Structure formats: C-alpha cells, structure tokens
Chains A and B, each alone.
Chain A
Amino acid sequence: MKKYTFTEKKDTRSGFGAGMQVLGQTNPNVVALCADLIGSLKLDAFINENPERFFQTGIAEANMICIAAGLTIGGKIPFATTFANFGTGRVYDQIRQSVAYSNKNVKIACSHAGLTLGEDGATHQILEDLGMMKMLPGMTVINPCDYNQTKAATIAVAEHVGPVYLRFGRPVVPIFTAPDQEFIIGKAWTVNEGKDVSIFATGHLVWEAILAGEILAEKGIDAEIINIHTIKPLDEEAVLASVRKSGCAVSAEEHQIAGGLGDSIAQVLIKNHLAPLEYVGVNDSFGESGTPAQLMEKYGLNAAAIVEKALKAIARKS
C-alpha cells in the first residue's frame, strides 16, 4: 500500500476559494454570484480583488441560477455559489431549463454537501445532488477530495466549455494530493495499485478509502484505490481496467446509494464486465444533527465501512 501522509487539514471549500482567487487574476471573463453565503463559500479574496465581477443575489437561488445563465450571453463564465442543497434541489428546474437544456457555460459551485455539514441537520444535508445533476444531459459533475484537488478542479472547470456542477464541503480534511496538480476532467486518479478489490471513492470518502486500504493491507489484502473525482463523464476505461484485474468493486461516496457514483459504476459493470459491487453510501435515509465524524460513522461512510464492504465483495467473487 502506497503511503499517504498529511501535515495539514483544510476544508475543500477553501480550495474552491483559492481557485477562485487564481481565476480572478488570470481569467477576466470569470464572474461569481452568491446567495448570501460569501463567508461559507470562501469568496472573500475573489470579491476583494474583483468587486465589479461579483454579484450578490441575496437569498434568491432561482434568480441566481438564471442570472448566471444570462451572464454567459456576453461571454462571461459565471460561478453560481451557495450550499449544495439550495444550489441543486431547490433550483432543479432553473438548472434544467436555463442552464442544461440551454447549454449555458454556467459553473454551479456548491459547498456544504452531504452529511459532513454536521449540526445543521437533514434540511441542509443534501444527499441526492450528484444523482440529480448527473441525470441532466450535458452536465459535468465533479466532487473533489481535498483542498488541493478542489483548487485545481475549480481552475479546470473554468476552461471547460459547458455546464458543470462542482461539489465540495464544509469540514477540514487531510490534504494529501499534490499542490498545483493538473486536473483533467473525466480522468480518474489511481491512488494505489492493487489486485484484490477495486475501491472507487469520491469526495471526502477518498481519504477514508486510503485508511481502509491500510487496514486491508494488514489483513494481507491488496486493494486498488481509484479516485473518481469526475462522476460524469465517468472514466469507464479506468473502472473496467481495474475490475478486470481485481474481479470485484466497492463504491464509496457521501451521497444516497440510489443514483450516485455507485450506480454509475454498476451500469458500466453490468454492460461490460459482470462483477460483485458493494456500495458505501447512505441507504435511503435522511441525515440528522451531529458532528461530521459521528454522522459518517452512524451512516456507514468511513474507513471501517469500506473495509467491511471490501471483504464482502471479495467473498462474493466466484
């Protein structure tokens, strides 16, 4: 098992803020909108340096999404930002009609996704956003795993022409990917090469997958860990190449099992290469208040859960 260490923990949303600051300095067409959550989205640096390129919409997400669509008419690259719950589910129809169907170059960039939002509870803990966004034709869906990857993804999506949903979160998590890395949309990253089981993880679950890989190694199991930062378009080649080698898979995501990354992987396997697949995700349930670590444990979204599912997947190999 390749050794991963970290010296610092930061929130992925700060990676977004850092990426936006770079874009503010390098791409004059990038503009930002926010629905009364500037501090939570870490937009202060971008706004301070580019006040004329920031649009405060107040608590009016539907208006924000459609203003972003309008800003693209004139060549702007708008980043529409708020919490993931309000930036996807609340405004699904606005995204569907004015962004996706209209093929507008809007970047919907949302923080506080999933259970790790914590104490605010289920009203704010969206666990269906990846599914809703990936169903929209033409939408690119990205869920980076740490500060550095989120910063790189933010810069990369500005270069990509077309609608993007960029999802990140609130809690501090280890920084274990390279600073100033190249981010290629749709290209999976092999975190660890292995031969016994393929673990496909996204977002905050990637670090948990690394911890799980270490536990599995102690049991003599050689896990391949692949970071699927781009849920759509899915790197089907990487998925298939890994499962052809390992013969079984685990998906890991901070999202409902229904409609998430695991279901996308299942489709690829069913069509191309039948193999056991176990899901680590929320099982048809809403979240609740609690600390991020408590919630991830209670809902089975941590390293221990990944280990358990990996052993189960291996046992199912015929």
Chain B
Amino acid sequence: MQITELQSVASQVRRDIVRQVHACQSGHPGGSLGCADLLVGLYFDQMNLKSNADGTKPFDMNGIGEDLFFLSNGHISPVLYSVLARSGYFAPAELATFRKLNSRLQGHPTPHEHLEGIRIASGSLGQGMSVAIGAAQAKKLNGDDSMVFVLMGDGEQNEGQVWEAAMYAPHHKVDNLVAIIDFNGQQIDGPTDKVMNNRDLGAKYAAFGWNIMKMNGNDMADVVKVLSEARTFSGSGQPTMIVMTTEMGAGVDFMMGSHKWHGVAPNDEQLAAALAQLPETLGDY
C-alpha cells in the first residue's frame, strides 16, 4: 500500500478509537492513538495474512502460514479492535459494543469471547512477549517461516517478567520474533522518567543479545521502512527489538504531550473537537 493510503486508514482508525472510548465513557485513548500508525502499518502492509476472496479475513487460532501479532499492553485495545475490524476480521459495526455488556470487545482483549483476530488475553502486563516467544518457537517446530510481532508499553518494562523473556529469546535464538516497545515516555502516574526510569532501553536489550532498531512510530514512512527491514533479521540468530518513539494521543492535538489521556474518555465537546482533526476516510461505523 502507498504511504498516503496507509495514512488515510490510520485517520479512520483514530476516529474509531475516540468514538469507541467516548461511547462507553471508558478506555484508553492516549496509547491507542499513539500506536495507530504502527498497527495500520502492520495489518495493512507488512504482515503476511491470509485473505478471503471478498477481502474479509479468515481467522484460525493456530495461524499457521501467516504472521502473528500479539498486543501485550492490552489496555490499548481500541486501536487493535479498529484495525482488526477495518482489515476484515469482523464487521466495523461491532466496534459500537466496545466495553459494553455481552460484547466480544472486552475492555482488554481476550479469546474467551471468540473475537476473530485475538489469540491471547492481555491486560495484566508483562506477559505478551513470553507468549509471542512461545508462538515463534511453535512456528519453528512447524517449519513455518512466518514472523511473530509483539507490542509492549514502555511503562510495561517495569514488570520483571519482561526481563525473563528478554533473557530467554536471544539464548534460544528466537529470530523470527520482532518485539516493539511503544516508547511514549508516559505511564499512569506520570512521565516514565519520574515513575520508574527506564533509562536506555535499547542498550539494555542489546546487552541481552537483541538486535536493536529505532522507529518513529508516528511517521508512516518510517514505520513501513523499519518493519520491512526488521523482517530481514529472521535467520540471523537474534531476536529484534524496535524502540518505537511515539506521541501519546498522536493525531488529536489536545490529547498529546501528557499522560493525562492515558485512561480518560472524551466528553461530547472533546469528541467533536477530536473528530474535526481526523478525516473520515473509510466511513464511520
């Protein structure tokens, strides 16, 4: 896909995010908006995914012969739900049920409600990279040369389990794995520098034996370029870590530059102000 087309999809995804969160007056818009470009770049361009003739996508839990994506920081579910719906896993109209009773779109993603595209529950932080490692090792056992991608938060790096996984993946040469950290510098209680300083995440992972890349996660051209290059490290014997710089709330000016919109829903006026900045490109659900 052309960069401009991907940017156009990302605009609709951002509309979907703020509309989902507004409709139920709960959820996490900040990180979702910040990661919209990455998820669009993955699902609409970089991931090899099976497709039906009518453009919808089939879902098979085992995902053999296709790339897999895991969202470890499950609270940014609105961006994942939008991208899954817009890429053909389920009807976009279902986005209207986000966080409501009897919905398949739970506050945090889960396969428990059989939503197409979701393979693991996440929300309790620190677990997704381990899951992705297991899925990547299953691919190797199956002789499947597809890739596994996993996204984590930068605040999530506080969790000890992340570093168990960081140690394991290079030791076992899990080189069909691309992990991405959303480095937006914010977590619930404030800037990551103040809450729990991550210092140089890239240097930490490099010391564990990872191949390190950097990405501007809100520049679609850079997203596509870095993801495309990351794939080439499959077979190198090293897993790849992309430290992705993003702006929390990216695309909506008054949500940017602060941790304030981590888990706050916009009111009616704020919704209107946000939507005015985001062109409706694929049609609202």
Q: CB within 8 Å of B: which residues of A?
A: 31, 52-53, 55, 57-58, 60, 62-76, 78, 93-94, 96-98, 101-104
Q: Which residue of chain A is the closest to B111 with respect to CB atoms?
A: A102
A74 contacts B121, C-beta separation under 8 Å:
no
B120 contacts A98, C-beta separation under 8 Å:
yes
Q: CB within 8 Å of A: which residues of B?
A: 61-64, 68, 110-112, 119-124, 126-128, 130-139, 141-142, 144, 160-161, 164-165, 167-168, 171-172
Cα of A93 to Cα of B63 in the assembled complex, Å: 25
A31-B141 contact given A73-B68, A73-B120, A98-B120, CB 8 Å threshold: yes
Chain B residues, Cβ within 8 Å of A104: 120
Cα of A103 to Cα of B133 in the assembled complex, Å: 18
Q: Which residue of chain B is the closest to A91 with respect to CB atoms?
A: B161
Q: Count how many pairs of residues, one from A and one from B, have CB atoms less than 8 Å apart in the complex.
A: 116
Cα of A70 to Cα of B124 in the assembled complex, Å: 16
Cα of A103 to Cα of B115 in the assembled complex, Å: 13
B124 contacts A75, C-beta separation under 8 Å:
no
A52 contacts B111, C-beta separation under 8 Å:
no
Q: Which residue of chain A is the closest to B166 with respect to CB atoms?
A: A63
A102-B121 contact given A52-B141, A68-B134, A75-B62, CB 8 Å threshold: yes
B131 contacts A70, C-beta separation under 8 Å:
yes
| Chain A to chain B: the 8 pairs with minimum beta-carbon distance, closest first | A70-B134, A74-B138, A66-B130, A63-B164, A60-B164, A67-B134, A70-B131, A70-B135
Chain B residues, Cβ within 8 Å of A97: 121-124, 127
Chain B residues, Cβ within 8 Å of A64: 130
Cα of A101 to Cα of B110 in the assembled complex, Å: 8
A74 contacts B164, C-beta separation under 8 Å:
no
B63 contacts A101, C-beta separation under 8 Å:
no
B65 to chain A: closest CB distance in Å? Answer: 11
Chain A residues, Cβ within 8 Å of B121: 97-98, 101-102
Chain A residues, Cβ within 8 Å of B112: 101-103
Cα of A52 to Cα of B140 in the assembled complex, Å: 10
Chain A residues, Cβ within 8 Å of B134: 66-73, 78
Chain B residues, Cβ within 8 Å of A71: 134-135, 137-138
Q: Which residue of chain A is the closest to B160 with respect to CB atoms?
A: A62
Q: Which residue of chain A is the closest to B144 with respect to CB atoms?
A: A74
B63 contacts A102, C-beta separation under 8 Å:
no
Chain B residues, Cβ within 8 Å of A74: 62-64, 135, 138-139, 141-142, 144
Cα of A96 to Cα of B64 in the assembled complex, Å: 25
B144 contacts A70, C-beta separation under 8 Å:
no
User: Out of B110, B126, B132, B160, which one reaches A70, CB within 8 Å?
Assistant: B132
B127 contacts A73, C-beta separation under 8 Å:
no
A57 to chain B: closest CB distance in Å? Answer: 6
Q: Is chain A's interface secondary structure helix, strand, loop, or mixed overall?
A: helix
Chain A residues, Cβ within 8 Å of B111: 102-103
Chain B residues, Cβ within 8 Å of A70: 120, 130-138
A67 contacts B133, C-beta separation under 8 Å:
yes
Cα of A227 to Cα of B120 in the assembled complex, Å: 36
A57 contacts B168, C-beta separation under 8 Å:
yes
Chain A residues, Cβ within 8 Å of B131: 66-67, 69-70, 73, 98
User: Out of A53, A62, A69, A96, which one reaches B164, CB within 8 Å?
Assistant: A62
Chain B residues, Cβ within 8 Å of A62: 126-127, 130, 160-161, 164
B74 to chain A: closest CB distance in Å? Answer: 9
Cα of A72 to Cα of B171 in the assembled complex, Å: 21
B130 contacts A73, C-beta separation under 8 Å:
no
Chain A residues, Cβ within 8 Å of B161: 60, 62-63, 66, 94
A19 to chain B: closest CB distance in Å? Answer: 21
A73-B137 contact given A66-B161, A98-B131, CB 8 Å threshold: no
Cα of A67 to Cα of B137 in the assembled complex, Å: 9
Cα of A75 to Cα of B128 in the assembled complex, Å: 18
Chain A residues, Cβ within 8 Å of B142: 74-75
CB<8 Å pairs between A and B, sample of 26:
A31-B141, A58-B167, A60-B164, A62-B126, A62-B127, A62-B130, A63-B164, A64-B130, A66-B127, A66-B128, A66-B130, A66-B131, A70-B134, A70-B136, A70-B137, A72-B134, A73-B61, A73-B63, A74-B64, A74-B142, A75-B62, A75-B142, A78-B134, A98-B121, A102-B119, A103-B112
Chain A residues, Cβ within 8 Å of B126: 62
A67 contacts B120, C-beta separation under 8 Å:
no
Chain B residues, Cβ within 8 Å of A72: 134, 138
A263 to chain B: closest CB distance in Å? Answer: 26
Cα of A74 to Cα of B67 in the assembled complex, Å: 12
Chain B residues, Cβ within 8 Å of A69: 120, 130-131, 134
A55-B120 contact given A67-B130, A75-B64, CB 8 Å threshold: no
Chain B residues, Cβ within 8 Å of A57: 164, 168
Q: Which residue of chain B is the closest to A65 with respect to CB atoms?
A: B130
Cα of A102 to Cα of B106 in the assembled complex, Å: 13
Q: Which residue of chain B is the closest to A69 with respect to CB atoms?
A: B131
A63 contacts B165, C-beta separation under 8 Å:
yes
Most buried by B among A31, A73, A97, A98: A73
Q: Which residue of chain A is the closest to B136 with respect to CB atoms?
A: A70
Chain B residues, Cβ within 8 Å of A98: 120-121, 127, 130-131
Chain B residues, Cβ within 8 Å of A76: 138, 141
Q: Which residue of chain A is the closest to B123 with respect to CB atoms?
A: A97
Most buried by A among B122, B130, B135: B130
Cα of A72 to Cα of B63 in the assembled complex, Å: 11
